[in-house]
Chain A
Amino acid sequence: AQKITQTQPGMFVQEKEAVTLDCTYDTSDPSYGLFWYKQPSSGEMIFLIYQGSYDQQNATEGRYSLNFQKARKSANLVISASQLGDSAMYFCAMSLLNQGGSEKLVFGKGTKLTVNP
């Protein structure tokens, strides 16, 4: 069964430092996508970064990078130069192919990141 595991319920980081949020996944499908979303207290889900299973290079988007290790089935999110506004819940998700070709997301339990001044 497809599953996403985030083992860190909470993480603390000092402002301006880097932090890594862990994510491991389990799937038997050869083709899949991995996503990271940020959810502030307002509830909206903000897309951060995407990594396809066949992508050769790790995805990067500004201060966000995804450390994709396919053999270990891990897709850790690295946030560099943390800012106070980065404090939020972070969810790792994997896309699964629906019948009809659309993709649905399976989410991990999330990691609450707190950036300290």
Chain B
Amino acid sequence: GAVVSQHPSRVICKSGTSVKIECRSLDFQATTMFWYRQFPKQSLMLMATSNEGSKATYEQGVEKDKFLINHASLTLSTLTVTSAHPEDSSFYICSAQGPNSGNTIYFGEGSWLTVV
């Protein structure tokens, strides 16, 4: 069964609004979670690394104020897309790693965001 759960799986929002995506580790404590973005027919691009209890580390070119990441507990990280625009429409997927997850990095089911 899934060890990382992501919600919602699909969301449609109006331009200018904000939308929150949750990523939960189910079977282990995730000290680190990662947020990726994937455009159609392209590879996954890392957006940021989320560490429990500290600020996220963003990759170059990713706007911190637009993609807010919160990792408040060892099992939950959230990505909030603020003031969403149609160009933010994409597939967002998280992954999680913990001290007991071994070498495996598990991914959530992903979230399809459509901004209209």
Chain A residues in the interface with B (C-beta under 8 A): 33, 35, 37, 42-47, 50, 52, 91, 95, 98-100, 102-110
What is the CA–CA distance of A106 and B36 in the complex, to the nearest angstrom?
10
Q: Residue-by-residue, is B27-58 near A (CB-CB < 8 Å gives 1, otherwise 0)?
A: 00001101000100011111001010000010
The 8 Å CB contact of A43, one of B57, B106, B109, is B109
- Find out whether the CB atom of A102 lies under 8 angstroms from the CB atom of B51: yes
A95 to B32, CA, bound (A): 14
Q: Chain A binding site: helix, strand, loop or mixed by DSSP?
A: strand
Contact A98-B49, Cβ < 8 Å, known A43-B91, A107-B44, A109-B42: yes
Indicate if the CB atoms of B110 and A45 lie closer than 8 Å.
yes
Main secondary structure of the interface of B (DSSP, over half): strand
Do B107 and A37 have beta carbons less than 8 Å apart?
yes
Contact A104 B109, CB 8 Å, known A33-B103, A43-B91, A45-B95 = no
Write 8 A-B pairs (CB below 8 A) sorted by A numbering: A44-B107, A52-B103, A102-B31, A102-B49, A105-B44, A105-B46, A108-B43, A109-B42
The answer, among B34, B57, B95, B104, for a CB contact under 8 Å with A99, is B57
Asked if A43 and B43 make an inter-chain contact with CB atoms under 8 angstroms apart, the answer reads: no
Please determine whether B93 and A104 come into contact, CB atoms closer than 8 angstroms. no
Inter-chain contact count A-B, CB under 8 Å? 59
Please, how many angstroms separate the alpha-carbon atoms of A45 and B44 in the complex? 10
Chain B residue, CB-CB nearest to A9: B41
B112, CB-defined interface residue at 8 Å? yes
- Residues facing A in B90-116 (CB within 8 A) are 91, 93, 95, 97, 103-110, 112
